[in-house]
Amino acid sequence: MMIFARRAALALFLTAPLILAGCGEQTAAPKPIPITDAAVSGDGTGRYTIAWIAPNVDTVTVYAGTDPSNVGREREVGSGGANGHLAVELPADTRWYFEFVPNDGGALVMAQRGLGLATVPNLRDAGGYRTTDGRWVKVGRVYRSDQLDKVSDADFAAMKDLGLKLICDFRTETERAAGADRVPEGTEHMIADVSGNSGGGLGAVLGDPSRMGEVLSQISAEEIMMMANRAFVSSDSARAAYKSTFERLADSGSLPTLFHCTAGKDRTGWSAAVLLTILGVPRDIVMHDYMLSNTFLAQKNRALLENFPPELAQQMIPLVGVRESYLNAAFEEVENTYGDFETYVRDGIGLSDDTVAALKANFLTPETAPPKTVTTMGY
């Protein structure tokens, strides 16, 4: 067992998109999770590197399974002490979840963040982050994604394995007409049009080189994105769409849920940022989750820009990616319009205290003592 320093562990695992989430054992009184940092990194061939930090714990045993809510104890993949590091090889044709079981305290379930689907590259779990009070956002409850109209049969099979109860489609009517979602049988499809069919949405513009050139001759790409993110906070259509989405997420019968737009980075990015903030995830980690779209969409964006003249493609780069300034513009709009985030949730989106409490009950592990810091290994 390799013992490694915290900084070395963080540097090693920040390079890979990761996911972790808590899942306490099914007992009458779930114990707090003593694991403070953890990470899983996979190479797409069934090889995984796993690490954790669990102060004041003697032993952590790791099990692998395919059900995030019931990993099971049939397949033990290794164990270690308070600081652990494992190399694991498993069949590559399924999504694996790893349950970290300490000798004292609750267990933690984690997995690689992205699903690695070529035709839906930004499909990833929105859970798996540690909150300011030391809890974890559970895995396997809510997913965020880019468009679902071009999903290959193989990727669709992997998506079906998630067991989705609900898909929330943030796209406009124009976008939906251009490509209807592929929805697994038995999954409800809900329309939650964030943009109110305003101009067909950015996704429609990105598919039209002549229209894109006209738009960018009048306003910069950066300003388009800043305006869009402010509108996610203030526009009537956005507030209504997010209200309906979060109210469904507060219903445990709707889980697992997937919400998406075209790229899965803007309308979807703000939705994920709001949910994580409600749950108590620190702002810097919320920002990290937002910025991961640049990693997951890199290949898709390169292919998209190849359809445009080089000069225009260069102008479009700020449109196809995300920047910290975009998300900051939305949070600034919250402050300017509502005064603080809690008032935005209550008066802007219109969520009741009961709905917020239900969201926390659905997505958070048992409460523990507040940590001194919230670190980054678990990204």
pLDDT single digits (tens) 299-324: 999 999 998 899 989 999 999 999 99
Average pLDDT in the 194-223 region? Answer: 69
Could you tell me the pLDDT band of residue 261, with boundaries at 50, 70 and 90? very high
Architecture field, domain 6-112: Sandwich (2.60)
Which residues are bridge partners to 263 per DSSP? none
Give which of 52, 123, 372, 132 is closest to 265, Cα–Cα. 123
Residues in the chain, total: 379
Could you tell me the pLDDT band of residue 114, with boundaries at 50, 70 and 90? very high
- pLDDT tens sequence across 31-50: 889 998 888 888 889 999 99
Give which of 8, 36, 47, 27 is closest to 102, Cα–Cα. 36
Start and end residues for every CATH 2.60.40 domain found in the chain: 6-112
pLDDT of residue 257: 98
User: Which of 27-41, 96-110, 140-154 has the lowest average pLDDT?
Assistant: 27-41
Between 191 and 43, where is the model more confident? Answer: 191
CATH node for 142-363? 3.90.190.10
Average pLDDT in the 111-140 region? Answer: 93
pLDDT of residue 290: 98
Start and end residues for every CATH 3.90.190.10 domain found in the chain: 142-363
* Distance in angstroms (rounded) separating the CA atoms of residues 102 and 5: 20
Tokens coding 256 = 């697992």
Tokens coding 271 = 């939705």
User: Which of 58-62, 304-308, 375-379 has the lowest average pLDDT?
Assistant: 375-379
Average pLDDT in the 52-56 region? Answer: 92
Give which of 180, 227, 229 is closest to 327, Cα–Cα. 229
* Distance in angstroms (rounded) separating the CA atoms of residues 48 and 255: 27
pLDDT of residue 11: 37
Helix, strand, or coil (residue 85): strand
pLDDT of residue 8: 38
| Strand bridging mode 97-102 / 60-65 | antiparallel
Q: Residue written as tokens 């069949």?
A: 91
